[in-house]
Amino acid sequence: MTLASDGATRRPRRVCLLSVHTSPLEQPGTGDAGGMNVYIVETATRMAQRGVDVEIFTRATSSENPPVVELAPGVLVRHVAAGPFEGLGKNDLPSQLCAFTAGVLRTEARHEPGYYDVVHSHYWLSGQAGWLARDRWGVPLVHSAHTLARVKNAALADGDPPEPMVRVIGEDQVVAEADRLIGNTDEETRQLVELYGADPQRTVAIAPGVDLVRFTPGDRAVSRSVLGLPPDAIVLAFVGRIQPLKAPDVLLRAAAELLRRDPALRSRLVVLVAGGPSGSGLAEPTALHELGASLGITDVLRFLPPQTRESLAHVYRAADVAAVPSYNESFGLVALEAQACGTPVVAAQVGGLPVAVAHERSGLLVPGHRAEQWADALAAVACVPGRRDEMGAAAVRHARMFSWDRTADALLDTYTEAAAEYAERQGLVVRPTTPVR
């Protein structure tokens, strides 16, 4: 970090981002790739557009991964060899943190001291590596948890195993060491303080954004034609990883309840599920199909593989409602993306979703996961003439309050503040004193 002549700290020139367990190059919606991947790509790209060089370190998962990939002008992805390329789950990665961290430190050692101005770690595994890099490089550590073990364990879905104690301990350590902790919402910063003992002065809420160029309102009929859906269908959409935490089963059970109440709806209802198995969902990759069969709704189900960002816009625009029934969401990027496309959202009233969704304006928040509750909420939006369009217009206005540009600017300001405080603690900056008269 460069010091100005007046002792102030300028914005960073080069930022190191750490993402151990998932690469920003991976397709969101399957494996461990999801909202965090989108967050890293979008913020890194926009920081680079502001003249900041960004280097992202991630674990190589294939022998075909090149050592360095240019993600965008000014953004490099560095693949670090740490453990076998395949066959390692997220819970196996702590054993490879030493190898990963060594790869990161060796890369920096090839440059002059002070090459990176700040290190920003994403998820607790990266925080462990970032903690050591911070001490070695003499730069501040900024950390984003994205999800928290204690919060997840307090609201587990059926069939979802609790987060292991090694993660809880690791999160405690990173929270204690980080120079800045970034939460997606005020609720997440409160959880960091109350559940992890974080210093409120080092904790800041910065909301994620949405790509307002890619995700825009469009012609619903065109999107339905692209996806092969009937123009007069009532479409309920789920986008995300197929795992108990994300609770796509809640949508299926609610759809079955809607059909029980109104059998005539069967000729028009389409339940669209876009995503692939992930996490604990990998143990039963066909469970959602089997649930649909047991509920007798196979005929209204439509499964799509994980979609590219461009294709996702068609999924959102085609839907009457986007459902986000997760048991835990630190924010919920899917909710913002759908609203930016003019689609109302019905979401669980958990985590950051009450920020992402404006209740009774851009969508509805459901205080639970019972099929009857969800059927009521979905019907109130999708099956009431005019309600979908009214909420859809409000959804666009709500989504426009968020942008990745705003997020990137807030991150750069946070990096600058953290660097100034770090430099002062290390005795690198001497603040002027008022002379005694």
Spatial separation of the C-alpha atoms in residues 121 and 178, rounded to whole Å: 9
Q: Is 243 annotated as a binding residue?
A: no
Question: Annotated binding residue at 319?
Answer: yes
433 is in an annotated binding site: no
Does 167 carry a binding-site annotation?
A: yes
Is 123 annotated to bind ligand? yes
- Taking CA atoms, 359 is separated from 309, 319, 354, in Å, by 26, 19, 7
The reply to whether 391 sits in an annotated binding site is: no
Residue 343 is assigned to a ligand binding site: yes
* Residue 29 in marked binding region: no
309 belongs to an annotated ligand binding site: no
Any binding-site annotation on 398? Answer: no
Q: Is 339 annotated as a binding residue?
A: no
Order of strands across the sheet with 14-19?
68-72, 75-80, 53-59, 14-19, 118-122, 141-144, 180-183, 203-205
Q: Is 90 annotated as a binding residue?
A: yes
Residue 241 assigned as binding residue: yes
Q: Is 37 annotated as a binding residue?
A: yes
CA dihedral (388, 389, 393, 398) in degrees, to 10, reads 0
Residue 289 marked as a ligand binder: no
Whether 21 has a binding-site annotation, put simply, is yes
Check the annotation: does 65 bind a ligand.
no
17: left (phi over 0), alpha (psi -120 to 50) or beta: beta
Q: Is 32 annotated as a binding residue?
A: yes
The distance in angstroms from the start CA to the end CA of the chain is 35
277 annotated to bind ligand: no
* Residues 6+ positions from 367 with CB-CB distance below 8 Å: 349, 373
How far apart CA 152 and CA 327 sit, in angstroms, is: 8
153 is in an annotated binding site: no
Q: Is 316 annotated as a binding residue?
A: yes
Binding residues for UDP-N-acetyl-alpha-D-glucosamine: 27-28, 35, 241, 246, 307, 329, 337
Binding residues for Mg(2+): 316-317, 319, 343
Binding residues: 21, 27-28, 32-37, 90, 123, 147, 167, 241, 246, 307, 316-317, 319, 329, 337, 343
Binding residues for 1D-myo-inositol 3-phosphate: 21, 32-37, 90, 123, 147, 167
